[in-house]
């Protein structure tokens, strides 16, 4: 239980990154599958080579941001479809990650890590959970703050109405690149912490990560709402913890760990399909009295697959 | 202030859909000029505006803003000096951001956007003051998401935002066409007011002849990518809608004549 919550709080940073691209920029970024492992690999190899673990974790942020930069350049300057740009970077990173690690995994047994530092300060009980809560909140608050600065508002508008924000002299290309860099930086950093948490970096640890991030964002926002940014980011953090607890619960109930990815995929599909079901929408509106706008935001998720002209209200 | 020299633009060149949208268009606006542009569908009115804004690159010719050649600048680079209101009331604002956040975005046009907070107490007071001009009560709804406003309210806000940081030139692309008559009247009135107050150099496309005569000091009529009539300052006030209709009829006659000739 405590382990699940701890892991959930670390994955909350991934979820915040995915929220930034997926919700704010309206950009389904698959780079994260690769940049997560890149962050883990970078931090692991630095730690094995006696670099300060906090410095190594910061380096993972930078490496993740570079991955985001590549996707951003492919998409904006190369005019490559966003999904494909992310996939290209992700696939390319697989080889790079193997190069960084010099093999398929790097064990961190007995090394000084940020997690061993945490255990030294707060042990393994609820105290350490409290520390991780504080860490997750710091990232959440930093993101809240950034999104309300002049740059952050321009970033939000880029995902909301590109034509409009361009007519106010903002380079939407630049905003997308900044968003992708920040997002993948956060994901890389989270990858570094996860590697230190589990005691190794592994080439396969990022596979399917986009679904973990999406599930956290969608589940959290479905439960806690998205009315304003500070509420939406809080929902994302809580969503990551809930997702981790759900997995823990499923495993305890005897689910085969090999089926986990399928379960994640089914969970995301359910979260995307349910809001389209009329009965569910009526319940949700009745229960929360949500604004039409929130429902519209919900609809944008599925809009590409939507029947043209179908109103979601 | 604005000079368009020999600008030509052809869409889909070399295909069966080839369309010459602009043919060697020349147009100059002095500071403070308010020019209305009329013409039938496909006459090239919107293309002129889009060429000035940089949304469409011209094939030939030059666009100068305030004496500076901006022909090669990108849309967002030109936007530092160009304010725009679109026909679609949804196009000029960001629906998921609040009224005050939208105004903050407009406020920063042409200035570097850093890590200072977008909305502060001082700014909020300034925004509320500016919103009072619209007489829509929006100054009391600063934290309302713009997506919840009606089309007329959004278009009025778009107009305020487009003119908020005093652009060198204001481009209005049939910005009242999608509104009901009452709202259109309001937005037209606001347009006159704000252009007058700020002495904005303005280029306005419209379908509505009465509106084209009501506002502005000059008028041009376009047809098939060419400017076919220029009404200078002073003469415009003497024109009546019938005169413009007569001009339109002349073009139509010319078209028929051409066809007859071909047969």
Cβ A151–B86 below 8 Å, yes or no?
no
| A313 vs B: CB within 8 A | no
DSSP A167: T
Residue B151 DSSP SS3: helix
Element (H, E) at B253: helix B241-262
- ipTM attached to this prediction: 0.91
CB atoms A160 and B77 under 8 Å: no
Q: Is B225 left (phi over 0), alpha (psi -120 to 50) or beta?
A: left
Report how far residue B222's alpha carbon sits from residue B238's, in angstroms, rounded to the nearest whole number: 20
Query: B131 and chain A: CB distance < 8 Å anywhere?
Result: no
- Report the chain A residue with the minimal C-alpha distance to residue B149: A293
A171 touches chain B (CB under 8 A): yes
Q: Which residues on neighbouring strands pair with residue B64, listed in sequence order?
A: B3, B69
Q: Of B53, B95, B114, which is closest to A151 when you measure between CB atoms?
A: B114
The SS3 of residue B90 is coil
Contact A209, A33 (CB under 8 A): yes
- A148 touching chain B per CB within 8 A: yes
| A79: alpha, beta or left? (left if phi > 0; alpha if psi -120 to 50) | left
Does A293 touch chain B if contact means CB atoms closer than 8 Å?
A: yes
**How far apart are the C-alpha atoms of A294 and A226, rounded to whole Å?**
7
pLDDT of residue A271: 79
Copy the structure tokens of residue B232.
């200078």
Place of tokens 């959440």: A140
pLDDT for residue A307:
38
The rounded distance, in Å, linking the Cα atoms of A270 and A273 is: 5
Instruction: State whether A161 and B94 contact (CB < 8 Å).
Output: yes
A303 and chain B in contact, CB less than 8 A: no
Would you say A52 and A111 are in contact if contact means Cβ atoms under 8 Å apart? no
Cα distance from A150 to chain B (closest Cα, Å)?
A: 4
The answer to whether A143 touches B97, Cβ cutoff 8 Å, is no
- CB of A150 within 8 Å of a chain B CB? The answer is yes
Which tens digits make up the pLDDT trace of A159-200? 999 999 999 999 999 999 999 999 999 999 999 999 999 999
Return d(Cα B84, Cα B202) in angstroms, integer. Answer: 10
Using CB atoms, pick whichever of B75, B83, B147 lies closest to residue A293. Answer: B147
| Nearest chain B residue to A171, by CA | B76
Q: Give CA–CA dist B8/A140, Å, rounded.
A: 51
Q: Which residues of chain A have pLDDT under 70?
A: 280-313
Are B104 and A293 an interchain contact pair (Cβ–Cβ within 8 Å)?
no
**Domain B2-93+167-262 sits in CATH 3.30.70.1170:** no
Please tell me the distance from the alpha carbon of residue A171 to that of residue B197, in angstroms, as a whole number.
30
Q: Which residue of B has its CA nearest to A145?
A: B117
pLDDT of chain B, 263 residues: tens digit per residue: 999 999 999 999 999 989 999 999 999 999 999 999 998 888 899 999 999 999 999 999 999 999 999 999 999 999 999 999 999 999 999 999 999 999 999 999 999 999 999 999 999 999 999 999 998 999 999 999 999 999 999 999 999 999 999 999 999 999 999 999 989 999 999 999 999 999 999 999 998 888 898 899 999 999 999 999 999 988 888 888 888 888 877 776 665 555 455 54
The pLDDT assigned to A225 comes to 85
How far apart are alpha carbons A218 and A271 in whole angstroms? Answer: 7
Do A168 and B104 make contact, defined as CB atoms within 8 angstroms? Answer: no
Tell me what pLDDT residue A290 has. Answer: 47
CA distance B122 to chain A (A): 15
Q: Which two tokens stand for residue B94?
A: 């960001």
Question: Residue written as tokens 């066809």?
Answer: B259
Report the DSSP pairing between strands B34-39 and B19-29: unpaired
Candidates B76, B101, B108; nearest CB to A171: B76
Nearest by CB: A161 against B75, B76, B95: B95
CA angle B214, B220, B222 (to 5 degrees): 125
Segments forming the whole domain that contains residue A18? 2-208
Residue B114 CB neighbour total at 10 angstroms: 9
Tokens 């920040």 sit at which residue?
A: A182
Domain count, chain A: 1
Contacts of B92 in chain A (CB under 8 A): 164, 167
Strand partners, B229: B221
- Report the alpha-carbon angle B91-B97-B103, nearest 5: 75
- The pLDDT score that the predictor gives to residue B203 is 96
Residue A79 burial (CB count, 10 A): 8
Flag whether A86 is in a domain. yes
CB pairs under 8 A between A and B: 94
Q: How far is B56 from chain A (nearest CA, A)?
A: 13
Does residue A182 sit within a domain?
yes
Comparing CA positions, the residue from A108, A99, A96, A91 lying closest to residue A49 is A108
Q: Of B75, B116, B148, which has the smallest distance from its Cβ to A291's Cβ?
A: B148
8 Å CB contact of A297 and B101: no
Residue B34 touches partner A, C-beta closer than 8 Å = no
- Other beta carbons within 10 Å of A235: 25
Q: Is A248 helix (H, G, I), strand (E, B) or coil?
A: helix
CB-CB under 8 Å, A292 with B148:
yes
Give A2→chain B minimum CA distance, Å: 37
**Hunting for tokens 């850093």 — which residue is that?**
B114
Question: Is A160 part of any domain?
Answer: yes
Tell me the C-alpha distance between A69 and A183, whole Å: 10
Best of B118, B154, B170 to disrupt the A interface by mutation (most A CBs within 10 Å)? B118
Whether A33 maps to a domain, the answer reads: yes
Among partner residues B79, B101, B118, which is closest to A169 by beta-carbon distance?
A: B79
| Residue A312 confidence (pLDDT) | 36
CA–CA separation, A114 and B198 (whole Å): 59
> Is A276 in contact with A302 (CB distance < 8 Å)?
yes
Adjacent-strand bridge partners of B7 = B25
Nearest CA in chain B to A166: B76
Measured in angstroms, the CA of B96 and the nearest CA of chain A are apart by 7
Is there a contact between A165 and B92 if contact means CB atoms under 8 Å apart?
Answer: no
Nearest CA in chain A to B95: A160
Task: Establish if A19 belongs to a structural domain.
Answer: yes
Specify if A104 maps to a domain.
Answer: yes
Residue B224 · residue B44 · CB < 8 Å = yes
Helices (H), chain A: 2-19, 32-48, 53-76, 82-101, 114-122, 126-147, 150-160, 162-166, 172-198, 209-224, 229-252, 260-273, 278-288, 292-302
Residues of B in contact with A163 (CB under 8 A): 86, 91
Q: Whole-angstrom Cα distance, residue B233 to residue B175?
A: 23
CA distance A175 to A154: 7
Q: Does A154 sit within 8 Å of B105, measured CB to CB? A: yes
Q: Where are the domains of chain B?
A: 2-93+167-262
- Closest Cα of chain B to A117: distance in Å? 32
């Amino acid at each position: 239980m405590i382990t699940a919550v701890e892991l959930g709080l670390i994955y909350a940073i991934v979820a915040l990154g995915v929220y930034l691209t997926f919700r704010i920029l309206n950009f389904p970024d698959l780079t994260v599958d690769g940049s997560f492992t890149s962050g883990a690999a970078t931090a692991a190899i630095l730690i094995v080579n006696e670099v300060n673990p906090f410095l190594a974790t910061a380096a993972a942020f930078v490496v993740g941001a570079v991955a985001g930069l590549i996707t951003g350049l492919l998409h904006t300057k190369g005019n490559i479809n966003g999904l494909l740009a992310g996939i290209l970077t992700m696939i390319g990173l697989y080889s790079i990650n193997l190069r960084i690690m010099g093999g398929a995994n790097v064990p961190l047994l007995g090394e000084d890590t940020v997690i061993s530092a945490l255990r030294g300060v707060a042990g393994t009980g609820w105290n350490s959970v409290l520390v991780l809560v504080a860490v997750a909140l710091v990232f959440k608050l930093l993101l809240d703050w950034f999104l309300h600065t002049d740059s952050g508002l321009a970033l939000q508008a880029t995902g909301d109405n590109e034509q409009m924000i361009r007519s106010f002299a903002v380079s939407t290309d630049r905003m997308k690149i900044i968003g992708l860099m920040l997002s993948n930086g956060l994901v890389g950093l989270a990858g570094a912490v996860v590697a230190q948490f589990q005691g190794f970096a592994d080439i396969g640890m990022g596979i399917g990560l986009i679904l973990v991030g999406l599930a956290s964002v969608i589940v959290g926002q479905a439960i806690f709402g998205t009315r304003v940014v500070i509420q939406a980011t809080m929902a994302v953090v809580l969503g990551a913890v809930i997702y981790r607890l759900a997995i823990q619960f499923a495993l305890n109930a005897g689910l085969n760990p090999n089926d986990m990815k399928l379960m994640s995929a089914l969970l995301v599909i359910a979260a995307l399909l349910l809001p389209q079901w009329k009965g569910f929408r009526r319940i949700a509106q009745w229960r929360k009295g949500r604004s039409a706008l929130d429902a519209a935001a919900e609809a944008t998720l599925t809009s590409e697959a939507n029947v043209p002209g179908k109103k979601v209200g | 202030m604005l000079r368009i020299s020999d600008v030509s633009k052809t869409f889909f060149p070399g295909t069966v859909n080839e369309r010459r949208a602009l043919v060697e268009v020349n147009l100059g606006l002095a500071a403070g000029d308010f020019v209305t542009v009329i013409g039938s569908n496909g006459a090239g009115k919107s293309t002129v505006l889009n060429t000035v804004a940089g949304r469409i690159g011209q094939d030939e010719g030059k666009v100068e803003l305030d004496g500076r050649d901006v022909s090669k600048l990108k849309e967002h680079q030109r936007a530092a000096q160009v304010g725009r209101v679109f026909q679609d009331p949804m196009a000029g604002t960001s629906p998921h951001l609040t009224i005050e956040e939208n105004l903050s975005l407009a406020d920063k046009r042409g200035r570097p956007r850093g890590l200072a907070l977008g909305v502060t107490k001082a700014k909020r007071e300034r925004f509320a003051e500016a919103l009072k001009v619209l007489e829509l009560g929006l100054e009391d709804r600063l934290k309302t998401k713009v997506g919840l406003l009606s089309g007329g309210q959004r278009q009025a806000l778009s107009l305020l935002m487009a003119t908020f940081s005093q652009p060198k030139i204001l481009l209005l692309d049939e910005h009242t066409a999608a509104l009901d008559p009452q709202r259109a009247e309001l937005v037209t009135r606001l347009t006159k007011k704000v252009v007058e107050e700020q002495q904005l150099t303005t280029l306005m496309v419209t379908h509505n002849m009465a509106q084209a005569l009501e506002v502005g000091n000059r008028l041009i009529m376009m047809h098939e990518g060419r400017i076919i009539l220029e009404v200078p300052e002073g003469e415009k006030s003497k024109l009546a809608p019938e005169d413009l209709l007569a001009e339109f009829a002349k073009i139509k006659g010319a078209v028929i004549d051409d066809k007859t000739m071909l047969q």
